Structure formats: structure tokens, C-alpha cells
């Protein structure tokens, strides 16, 4: 993280961190909605549509988590077989892998935006609350675009020699 | 290429991409996407991708995962690891190898509010690691115990891997949680036995601690009750159907968060840290889930799973032999691969095989039993030398210990894991009796 990389990458990382925290707040909101609906159900006054709200909140939250995970280079990779490979080989592989990640993420972002436009055009709504589905897509698109930008920046940036630590 | 050949090529492509250091989730998306396009065409693939990511992210059933992860992070940042270790130390400290036994006990208790293996290992090593080193425990025993203890995080419910297995095989999450209780307790007892034997064989490695009076023990355990009540409420509540798994996880996360603020002194900074940690782990899991979704969809189109299961049945091997081969494959793969990805890559083929074989059990019984076996096999992979992930995490946290010491210290625990796996295969009742399926 940080280090001698271009200032632009640092800015993207900060944006990713902010978006991840915002996503975390959405997750906590989804938690609160769920707890409230359990509480109400216990008194026999279940509210319809709480699951729809949770789905939208969590869906956007997860899309907002993605850039942060990418910025931290935390996505799980298999490193044991190439850990002893010569440095130039590893660098070349990482460069190629970085480009593949950027392409796949860009494809996902493009299709998600297209999916959102479709949902808007057809006026797709959730069943009970009649929330327009494109809201969720539009919010999620912010995460997907930032994710793409970070993946692209990483694939062209000077490679960080420090190996990333594995996570669950 | 015939669809069947596409299916085989997809597995070959995954292997190559993984070797080329492509992240697991992206490798699955690439291989799965290519397979999908090869069988159904490019436009159907592009159409699927319009809705697939957001519908995966915004699934009520899958929301249980980030909520359980949030609960585990609140428990960590709220200092519950320290409270649970102190209580376990008060009760087990004077036993042979007492602090290591207490570490296992603390890990088991922490595993009851946290569903991830690495998080449990890392969290407990912060409190138990320095304590064991101060008391003069050998680095091999100390780090081996922590690495093994961490696996109790996924064995003892709630367990993220088990949740995903349940959703994938359309089994009740509550049933699988309850089914994992006896195997989880067996694991805890087995690990404690290993510590005891270790301390008998090498008394210098584990100097004894003083025995505490009963009153002190109860006083030290005071902070355990809230955590224990949350565990019971969540796991029993989900099993008994008081609430859905997602509701249970939300209630658990809220309760643990409240405890962390009131008892553990969690404030703004720790709260933001727990959000960021949840974000990172959630994102890496959902990228893998997304990849697995596309991969298994393409695999189903290729009809490779159906072909493999009818081929296996036609071999006429004893069902237990086939099961043993699959479990050994998990043990071998688990030495090198991330557990969630390994499970999701293999289930599309293994589950039809399991259902096609005749174990004299119903489908529901086979699926719950197999889920527990997979969970245990995966967890062995996390601590088997040389590549087990837990070993590296614990080793990285204990700076001056060479990895070879950790390998040496964990061998006994691996042996107890294998014995337990054999027991669970031989006696399906150990997994099926408690949820009332036997």
C-alpha cells in the first residue's frame, strides 16, 4: 500500500476506503432493518418488503466493498507454486494477471450498467415496496466503475514488490 | 468441441490461470465465461452478465455471509478474544500443557461467534501467543496450537463455509449448524488430548501454571456469559426456526456489536476498522461466489457432472471407497488452495456423485453428512504442512519462529484431524443424530 506509487493511485485508494466505509454503513443499516423486522414479527406485526430493502442495501454494500478489496490486493491467489520462481517471471505473470483482472472487471462493470439501463427502461420494481430496481444498479455501478479504475491503475502501475498477505 | 470437452477444458483452464497467479474468482469467471460462450454463444453470456453480479450481491439468502462476518469482526474489535482466553485459562491453566489447552478452549469459544478460520487463528494469537511465550512454552507447540485452534472457527457453527455449502446444496443452514456441533466438540477434545500427549512427551515444552481457586475461576468467566448467550440464541434460533439464517446473523451481529460497545469499549475508530475488515473479507468471498456461479452454470451446460457421476457409478466401486478418494483429494488440494474456492469448484461434480452412490441413507442425510466431511477435510488442509494457510498466518504473526517449527508443532493436530475424519466417515450418526436425521 502507498509507497512510491503514483499519486493518482493513492487518490483511488482513498476513494475505495471511503466507499467501503459507506458500504459498511449500508450493511449496518441492513442489519438494523432486519433486527427491527424480527422485533416486529415477534409482536405479530411483520412488515412486508423488509427483505427487499435488505437485498438492495446489501447488494449495493457488496459492490462498494469490491474496490477496497482490489486496492488492498486482497483477492485470493494461488502463490505457492510460483513463490520460488525468478523475479522477472513473477513480475511478467503478475502483469498479465493484472491485465486480465482489469479486463474482466471492466466487462462486469459494462454489463452491470447495461443491466441497470434495461431495468430503468422496463421500469422494473421490487415486489412489495415497488422500489425502482435501477436505483440499486446505479448505486452499485459506482463501485464497479471505481473497481475497474483501480484494477486498471494496478495493471499499469509499477509493481509493488511486497507480497500481499493471505486472508480467509 | 463437444460440450463435454468444453467442461474438461474449463478445469484445465482454471488450473493454468491459477498457476499464472490470476485471482481465484477472476480465473473462475474467465474459464466459466469462456465455457458458457463456447456452449451457448457470446450474446447469451453477455445477457447473463447484465443481471448476474447484482443479483448475486443482492440475494437475501447470501446476506447471511456479510452479517456473520460483521459479527466476527465486532467480536474481535470488542476484545472478546481476550475475555474468552482469560476464562479458558482460569479453568484449564493448571492442566498438563494448560495454556495450550486454554488456547484451544478459547478458540472453540471464539469459533462459536466467528465463522472464519483465519480470523479465529489471528485473533486468538494476539492474546494467547504472547502469554504462552512468556510462560516458556516451546514456539513449536505455541504456534501449532494456534494454527490448529483457528480451524475450530469454521468447524464450530456459525461457519461461513457451511452456510455456503447449505445454500449450494439447498439444505437447511440450521440443520448443518447443529450437525457440526458434535464434530466440533470432538475436534476440541481431540486437540486438547494432543496438547496433553505433547506435554507428557516433552514436559519442558509446556511448563505448568498454578491452580486457581473456584471463586477466581467463576470471576474470570463472568465476561463469557454474554458471548455464550448470543451463540445459543443465534444457532438455536436458526435451527428451531425462530428466525431465518439472515435474521439470526443480523440479531447476532447487533448483539455482539452492542456488547463490543458496552463491555469491550469499541469506539469510532474500532468500528470503522471492523467495517473495513468486513468489507475486505466480504468482497473477496463474493468475487469467488460470483465466479463459482458462472463456472458451475457453464459446467452444468457441459453436462460433465452428470457424465462423471454415471461413470463413477458404472465403475462399481464401494461407495465408501469413492468417498475416501474424494476426501483424500480435498486433503491434497487443501494443502495449496483457498478453502471456499476449492469447495465451490468441486461441489458441482462431487455432489451428484455422492447422490448417485448408495450409502443406505436418504438424500438429505447424505448431503448433511457430506457437508460435515467436506468441512473437516477442508479444515485439515488449512493446517497441513507445508502450505496450510493458517500456518503461514500464525507464523507471520509470531515474528521470530521459523516456519519449520510451526510445521513440527502442528503435526500432532493433523493426526488427530485425520483420526476424526475416519470416525466421521465410519459413523454418520455423529453428524446426523443431533439434527434428528439418523
- Compute the nearest-CA separation of A161 from chain B (Å): 15
C-alpha grid cell, residue B419? 483420526
Best residue of B29, B58, B281 to probe chain A, by most A CBs closer than 10 Å: B58
Confidence band, pLDDT 50/70/90 cuts, at residue A165? very low
CB B286 within 8 A of CB A62: yes
In chain B, residues with a C-beta closer than 8 Å to the C-beta of A54 are: 60, 63, 246
Residue A164 has pLDDT above 50, yes or no: no
Q: What is the pLDDT of residue A158?
A: 63
Q: What is the pLDDT of residue B208?
A: 78
CB A56 within 8 A of CB B248: no
pTM of the model: 0.90
Taking 50 as the pLDDT cut, the residues of chain B under it are: none
Chain-chain contact of A55 with B21 (C-beta, under 8 angstroms): no
**How far apart are the C-alpha atoms of A67 and A72, rounded to whole Å?**
9
What would the mean pLDDT of A42-64 be, rounded to a whole number? 86
> What is the 3-class SS of B210-228, one letter each residue?
CCCCHHHHHHHCCCHHHHH
> What is the 3-class SS of A30-52, one letter each residue?
HHHHHHHHHHHHHCCCCCCCHHH
Best residue of A13, A20, A56, A62 to probe chain B, by most B CBs closer than 10 Å: A62
Chain-chain contact of B50 with A111 (C-beta, under 8 angstroms): yes
- The more confident residue out of B269 and A130 is B269
**How far apart are the C-alpha atoms of B205 and B393, rounded to whole Å?**
22
Q: Please state the ipTM of this predicted complex.
A: 0.89
Q: pLDDT by residue (tens digit) across B30-85?
A: 999 999 999 999 999 999 999 999 999 999 999 999 999 999 999 888 888 888 89
Chain mean pLDDT for chain A: 84
Instruction: Taking each helix axis as running N to C, give the angle between helix B80-92 and helix B64-77, from 0 to 180 degrees, rounded to the nearest 10.
Output: 70
B243 touches chain A (CB under 8 A): yes
- Among the partner-chain residues A21, A75, A166, the one whose CB lies closest to the CB of B287 is A75
Residue A153 has pLDDT above 80, yes or no: yes
**How far apart are the C-alpha atoms of B212 and B215, rounded to whole Å?**
8
- Compute the nearest-CA separation of A158 from chain B (Å): 17
- Compute the nearest-CA separation of B46 from chain A (Å): 7
Chain-chain contact of B246 with A81 (C-beta, under 8 angstroms): no
Chain-chain contact of A74 with B243 (C-beta, under 8 angstroms): no
Chain-chain contact of B272 with A21 (C-beta, under 8 angstroms): yes
Q: What is the pLDDT of residue B394?
A: 85
Confidence band, pLDDT 50/70/90 cuts, at residue A1? very low
Interface of B with A in 373-412 (CB under 8 A): 387, 389, 392-393, 396
From B73, which residue of chain A is nearest by alpha-carbon distance? A24
Backbone angles phi, psi at A132, to 5 degrees: -65, 130
> Across B306-367, where does the E strand assignment appear?
none
Chain-chain contact of A59 with B51 (C-beta, under 8 angstroms): no
In chain A, residues with a C-beta closer than 8 Å to the C-beta of B280 are: 20, 65, 68-69, 72, 74, 167
- Among the partner-chain residues A34, A79, A118, the one whose CB lies closest to the CB of B246 is A34
Q: C-alpha distances in angstroms, B5 versus B8, B39, B300, B343?
A: 5, 10, 13, 22
Interface of B with A in 341-370 (CB under 8 A): 341
Q: Among residues B67, B86, B355, which one has the least CA distance to residue B238?
A: B67
What would the mean pLDDT of A112-135 be, rounded to a whole number? 87
Amino acid at each position: 500500500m502507498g509507497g512510491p506509487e503514483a499519486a493518482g493511485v493513492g487518490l483511488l485508494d482513498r476513494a475505495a476506503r471511503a466507499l467501503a466505509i459507506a458500504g459498511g454503513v449500508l450493511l449496518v443499516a441492513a442489519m438494523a432493518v432486519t433486527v427491527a423486522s424480527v422485533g416486529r414479527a415477534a409482536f405479530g406485526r411483520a412488515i412486508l418488503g423488509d427483505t427487499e430493502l435488505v437485498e438492495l442495501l446489501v447488494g449495493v454494500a457488496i459492490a462498494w466493498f469490491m474496490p477496497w478489496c482490489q486496492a488492498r490486493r486482497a483477492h485470493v491467489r494461488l502463490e505457492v507454486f510460483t513463490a520460488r520462481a525468478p523475479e522477472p517471471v513473477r513480475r511478467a505473470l503478475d502483469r498479465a494477471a493484472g491485465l486480465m483482472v482489469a479486463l474482466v472487471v471492466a466487462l462486469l462493470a459494462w454489463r452491470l450498467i447495461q443491466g441497470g439501463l434495461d431495468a430503468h427502461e422496463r421500469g422494473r420494481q421490487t415486489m412489495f415496496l415497488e422500489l425502482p430496481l435501477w436505483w440499486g444498479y446505479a448505486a452499485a455501478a459506482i463501485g464497479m466503475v471505481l473497481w475497474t479504475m483501480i484494477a486498471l491503475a494496478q495493471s499499469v502501475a509499477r509493481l509493488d514488490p511486497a507480497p500481499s498477505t493471505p486472508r480467509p | 468441441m463437444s460440450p463435454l470437452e468444453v467442461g474438461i477444458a474449463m478445469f484445465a483452464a482454471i488450473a493454468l490461470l491459477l498457476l499464472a497467479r490470476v485471482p481465484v474468482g477472476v480465473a473462475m469467471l474467465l474459464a466459466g465465461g469462456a465455457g458458457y460462450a463456447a456452449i451457448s454463444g457470446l450474446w447469451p453470456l453477455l445477457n447473463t452478465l447484465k443481471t448476474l453480479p447484482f443479483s448475486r450481491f443482492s440475494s437475501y439468502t447470501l446476506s447471511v455471509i456479510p452479517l456473520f462476518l460483521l459479527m466476527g469482526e465486532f467480536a474481535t474489535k470488542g476484545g472478546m478474544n481476550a475475555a474468552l482466553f482469560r476464562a479458558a485459562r482460569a479453568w484449564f491453566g493448571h492442566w498438563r500443557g494448560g495454556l495450550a489447552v486454554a488456547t484451544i478452549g478459547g478458540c472453540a469459544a471464539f469459533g462459536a461467534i466467528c465463522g472464519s478460520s483465519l480470523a479465529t487463528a489471528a485473533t486468538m494469537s494476539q492474546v494467547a501467543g504472547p502469554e504462552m511465550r512468556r510462560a516458556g512454552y516451546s514456539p513449536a507447540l505455541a504456534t501449532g496450537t494456534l494454527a490448529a485452534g483457528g480451524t475450530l472457527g469454521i468447524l464450530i457453527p456459525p461457519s461461513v463455509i457451511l452456510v455456503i455449502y447449505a445454500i449450494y446444496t439447498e439444505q437447511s443452514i440450521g440443520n448443518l449448524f447443529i450437525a457440526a456441533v458434535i464434530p466440533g466438540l470432538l475436534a476440541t477434545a481431540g486437540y486438547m488430548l494432543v496438547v496433553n500427549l505433547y506435554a507428557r512427551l516433552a514436559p519442558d515444552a509446556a511448563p505448568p501454571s498454578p491452580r486457581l481457586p473456584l471463586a477466581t475461576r467463576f470471576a474470570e468467566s463472568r465476561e463469557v456469559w454474554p458471548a455464550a448467550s448470543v451463540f445459543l440464541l443465534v444457532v438455536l434460533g436458526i435451527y428451531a426456526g425462530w428466525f431465518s439464517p439472515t435474521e439470526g446473523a443480523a440479531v447476532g451481529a447487533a448483539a455482539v456489536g452492542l456488547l463490543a460497545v458496552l463491555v469491550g469499549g469499541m469506539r469510532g475508530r474500532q468500528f470503522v476498522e471492523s467495517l473495513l475488515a468486513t468489507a475486505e473479507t466480504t468482497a473477496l468471498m463474493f468475487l469467488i461466489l460470483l465466479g463459482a456461479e458462472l463456472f458451475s452454470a457453464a459446467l452444468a451446460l457441459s453436462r460433465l457432472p452428470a457424465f462423471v457421476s454415471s461413470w463413477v457409478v458404472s465403475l462399481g466401486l464401494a461407495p465408501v471407497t469413492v468417498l475416501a478418494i474424494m476426501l483424500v483429494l480435498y486433503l491434497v488440494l487443501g494443502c495449496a488452495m483457498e478453502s471456499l474456492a476449492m469447495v465451490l469448484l468441486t461441489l458441482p461434480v462431487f455432489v451428484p456423485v455422492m447422490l448417485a452412490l448408495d450409502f443406505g441413507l436418504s438424500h438429505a442425510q447424505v448431503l448433511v453428512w457430506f457437508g460435515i466431511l467436506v468441512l473437516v477435510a477442508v479444515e485439515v488442509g488449512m493446517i497441513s504442512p507445508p502450505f496450510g494457510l493458517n500456518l503461514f498466518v500464525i507464523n507471520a504473526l509470531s515474528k521470530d519462529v521459523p516456519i519449520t517449527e510451526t510445521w513440527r508443532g502442528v503435526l500432532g493436530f493433523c493426526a488427530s484431524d485425520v483420526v476424526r475424519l475416519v470416525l466421521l466417515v465410519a459413523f454418520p450418526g455423529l453428524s446426523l443424530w443431533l439434527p434428528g436425521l439418523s
